[in-house]
A and B are shown apart, each in its own frame.
With several copies, the nearest count.
Chain A
Amino acid sequence: MAAIKSAAEAIAGIASGSRIMFGGFGRVGSPETLIAALAEHPADNLTVICNDLGSHNEGLGVLLLQNKIKKAIGSFFTPNPDAAKYYREGKLEIELIPQGNFAEAIRAAGAGLGGFLTPVGVGTELAKGRDVIHFQGREYILQPPLHADYALIRAKVADTLGNLVYSKSGRNFNPIMATAAKCCIAEVDEIVEAGELSPEEIITPFLYVDILVKRGSNDAD
């Protein structure tokens, strides 16, 4: 069952050095209120697990410019020119994973799997440092799961238990990240009573969600 908190309260426990997942694909599905709260929070030396790093001074780009991000694990950091700059200057470590392997590794963590065999990336530079396994006649990378301390996600509507539904392409990495962290904090537009969402349409069942934050509860929007 989820607790309802302000953005600042929700992220208050996040310590320096934490591993944090951030949902979103570009700005869509990005927990902007929570990111704004993190910008006001002292935690640094963070490892962020996210598809991208937003853009210049936008989304996670804000935290990057604050030198709070030690390492980024994801698939597409190109749209934020600061990522390249910080990387070149040795201020940012990057672990690049093909987007589908990245998504699947997050899901695997949430589903208690020890890893999976993927044909994607075999024979490329991104196979370096990975275990390569021959199984049933084909070559695969053994991709380990991606776990985190926190998942900061964005949904559209929550019920008071913490069940979530999303909006359009805002779903992206949010439902899988919700499953893969010790603590899942969901930023939502609206919180309704339990029972108001149809049992057939709930995408994230409440057992994954620890804290609900109303969007804009830090005047971030």
Chain B
Amino acid sequence: MLTDEERKERIAKRAAEELADGMVVNLGVGIPTLVANYVAGKKVYLQSENGILGVGPYPKAGEEDKDLINAGRKHVTIVPGASFFDSAQSFGQIRGGHIDCTIIGGLQVSETGDLANWLVPGKDVLGVGGAMDLVVGAPKVIIATQHTTREGEAKIVPTCTLPLTAKQAVDMIITEYAVFRFHGGRLILEEITSDFSLADLRSVTTARYEISPELKVRVV
């Protein structure tokens, strides 16, 4: 049984492989934030929707700049060539498709690419943040999420039962066991980890999906 930490690390590492030199990426809170730990050696630029292009590593304790936080409200630094702008400009970058990729968490992804990730069941509707904007705007939307809920329920489902963030917006799903991509509106399994069988995967995935003829097994 994988620990929570191990699951998150696997997902973040795999998601980082999707990022290439020169890409501009917005990372959501939670697992997506960890992706930044695995892009060393690649010139990937992080945008933060509160108005930063070129977010750098977290500062050392005691070196925080009180005016410099990311959208997750954590103190950050900036890299050379970074810039600041207001929220309308920031979301102009996002909605206008100028951020190459967003990696974001998910509560449910449907087999048609619908995403639900903002409204936790039973909680009050008090925050949506920039999730809807990011998912609609980014040319490439990667959902980085654990494969099931803590209770073991499927998150990759036929139809989202939770309130939607956006319709048909997801390009890719990365979990601790599998990588799925949407091609022409169909959900395709492209990778599975070596510690998980196809039958295992089917048992925790209620969505219909096809298996790529070039299915890769990722040795873990």
Partners in one complex: yes
Which A positions have Cβ atoms within 8 angstroms of B? 1, 25-29, 51, 75-79, 83-84, 87-88, 94, 96-104, 106-107, 109-113, 118-126, 159-161, 163, 166-176, 179, 193-195, 197, 199-200, 202-203, 205-208
Number of A-B contacts (CB under 8 A): 200
Interface string of B59-74 (1 = CB under 8 A from A): 0000001111111010
Query: Given contacts A28-B69, A84-B126, A199-B82, is CB(A1)–CB(B88) below 8 Å?
Result: no
Q: Residue B213 at the A interface, CB < 8 A?
A: no
Query: Given contacts A174-B86, A179-B96, is CB(A121)–CB(B80) below 8 Å?
Result: no
Which B positions have Cβ atoms within 8 angstroms of A? 22, 24, 43, 45, 47-54, 65-71, 73, 78, 80-88, 90-99, 119, 123-133, 136-137, 163-167
Q: Least Cβ distance of B88 to chain A in Å?
A: 4
- Closest A residue to B120 by beta carbon equals A78
B131 to chain A: which residues have CB within 8 Å?
Answer: 98
Contact between chains at B166 and A124 (CB < 8 Å): yes
B47 to chain A: which residues have CB within 8 Å?
Answer: 207
Query: Given contacts A122-B167, A168-B67, A207-B98, is CB(A77)–CB(B127) below 8 Å?
Result: yes
Q: Least Cβ distance of A59 to chain B in Å?
A: 12
- 3 closest A-B pairs by CB: A195-B80, A100-B91, A78-B127
B83 interface neighbour in A96, A163, A167, A175, Cβ under 8 Å? A163
Contact between chains at A111 and B167 (CB < 8 Å): no
B129 interface neighbour in A75, A121, A175, A179, Cβ under 8 Å? A75
Contact between chains at B163 and A169 (CB < 8 Å): no
Docked CA distance A78–B84 (Å):
25
B125 to chain A: which residues have CB within 8 Å?
Answer: 94, 96, 125
Q: Could you jot down 18 A-B contacts, CB within 8 Å?
A: A51-B87, A76-B128, A77-B127, A79-B73, A98-B130, A107-B88, A109-B96, A110-B96, A126-B132, A163-B83, A167-B67, A173-B87, A176-B86, A176-B87, A179-B96, A194-B80, A199-B84, A208-B98
